[in-house]
Amino acid sequence: MCFRRNFVYASVLLGLALNGSSQTEIRVQGCGLVVDALRAPLSEGFHARYSDIELFWDEAVSATVFTSLFAGAIDFGVASRRMRPDEIELAGRLGLDLRELILGLDGIAVIVHPTNDVESLSLERLDAFYRGGMASWLGAGGPDAPVRLVSAAESSGIHTVFKELVLGDPDAKFRSDTEYFPSSEEILARVASEPGAIGFVSMISERSRVRSVPIALESEDPVLPSHTTVSDATYPLRYPVHLYTVAEPEPDGVRRRFLRFLYLHEGAALVAEAGFVPIQSFGAAYRSPGASPRVRVSMTRIGFGFRGNRLDAQARQDLLEIANRLAGTEDGVWITGHEEPTEARADLAFERARTIAGFLEVQNVEVSRIRLDTRGSFEPIASNAELEGRRMNRRAEVWILPH
């Protein structure tokens, strides 16, 4: 449901690549609605942290996204659907070491004309509508009117996802008179203008002109899509928005910086602001397409005493486990130091991160695999108004980034 447009979000170039990396731009391509939602917040946030790297955005349907990624024309591809087996096979023949991540979760909103008073729909009713087994709203508790089917373009990711979730088969055929539109805006306009119409769009779409219908599973109450119902899986039409890239050989290349921004820095919060349900960094799947999600980004919190940077027995045990996990891998380590406001000791957050790095180095974790960062007291995980909250904020976070 995307039509192609080109965008650039300009950033200030400093003229120098960081740490010797020669690439100073990142190209991202994805469905128009997703790109529209993510372009400004992610670009602004990324530019604030990496001002010498420029982000370019382009809109395209999922099939085009994968073609562009295979051709090396983009660095990241955003898709509502997963890569198909034939696409994975082609990437293998091209010698590409692809990586698949989950950027966030979305929900499919089923929409009807605002005058349609159908209370709810089951997946079985939706299946019957779109396959052609039910042609009138009357049998579903709606008006005495024919069902007019509206769909996203067949080349779009959300079209494939809808078929998988509702019809159980991505290759299933819709009723022959189904109307197809390339964008969410056109789908919304068509449903808003036809009393008997039914369609589906992303839940982040602006839907004031239409009515969203609650969806019911067997023996469960009907549910509308929202952050809460998608997050807790009570809404059945939920799906991951995928992020694809090619593995980068440079340990501090621009693609890895973009991933760190997405999963270790402000990225998750900005994805949520855009309307998606963010994946928490420590649970973000990171794997080769077609593989099981065995490898995950993980995070361990290490606590410290007031104004201190010494490791207690529990911290040492936790870090030994991390070192053992890192043995025999090429995974990277990202250590962020934190403090709470009453500690008021210069460079304390960084010293905490550096203490952990020193311990890991003694355990034979190569320094080249370790990155240090400091957040000061700007990212508390608990209220600093309470003693227990301040204790929790005296910490460092150790992230393992799969190679």
pTM score: 0.66
**Shared domain check, 154 and 93:** no
In a domain, 356, yes or no: yes
**How much is the pLDDT for 5?**
29
Q: What contacts 309, CB < 8 A, 6 or more positions away? A: 348, 351, 352, 354, 355
CATH number of the domain encompassing residue 13: 3.40.190.10
Mean pLDDT confidence for 161-184: 94
- Assess whether 243 and 94 both reside in one domain: yes
The CATH code of the domain that includes 359 is: 3.30.1330.60
Beta pairing partners, 211: 112
| Spatial CB neighbours of 23, under 8 Å, sequence gap ≥ 6 | 17, 53, 253, 254
Evaluate whether residue 268 is within a structural domain: yes
Confidence check: pLDDT of 126 > 60: yes
Residues 111 and 231 in one domain: yes
Considering the domain boundaries, does residue 14 fall inside one? yes
pLDDT tens column, 265-299: 788 889 888 999 876 433 333 445 554 443 345 78
Closest CA to 349 of 341, 49, 150: 341
For 62-120, write each residue's pLDDT tens digit: 888 999 999 999 999 999 888 888 888 888 888 888 888 888 889 999 999 999 999 99
Q: How far apart are CA 149 and CA 167, in angstroms?
A: 15
- Could you tell me if residue 28 is inside a domain? yes
Q: pLDDT band at 250, cuts 50/70/90?
A: low
Contact 390, 340 (CB under 8 A): yes
Based on the fold, state whether residues 229 and 273 are members of the same structural domain. Answer: no
Among 287, 321, 353, identify where a domain stops: 287
Residues 272, 227: one domain? Answer: no
* pLDDT score at 20: 37
Is residue 292 one of the residues assigned to a domain? no
Amino acid 381: pLDDT: 81
- Mark whether 217 and 147 lie in a shared domain: yes
Structural domain count, the chain: 3
CB-count burial class (<10 Å; 0-12, 13-18, 19+) for 233? exposed
Other Cβ atoms within 10 Å of 380 Cβ, number? 17
The stretch 34-54 carries a mean pLDDT of 92
Same domain, 149 and 227: yes
Decide if 258 is inside a domain: yes
Residue 122 belongs to a domain = yes
Are 218 and 254 in the same domain?
no
Q: Are residues 331 and 343 in the same domain?
A: yes
Domain check: are 315 and 395 in the same one? yes
Residue 293 lies in a domain: no
Claim to verify: residue 160 and residue 98 sit in the same structural domain = no
Residues 221 and 280 in one domain: no
Boundaries of domain holding 124: 107-237
Widest distance between CA atoms in the chain: 75
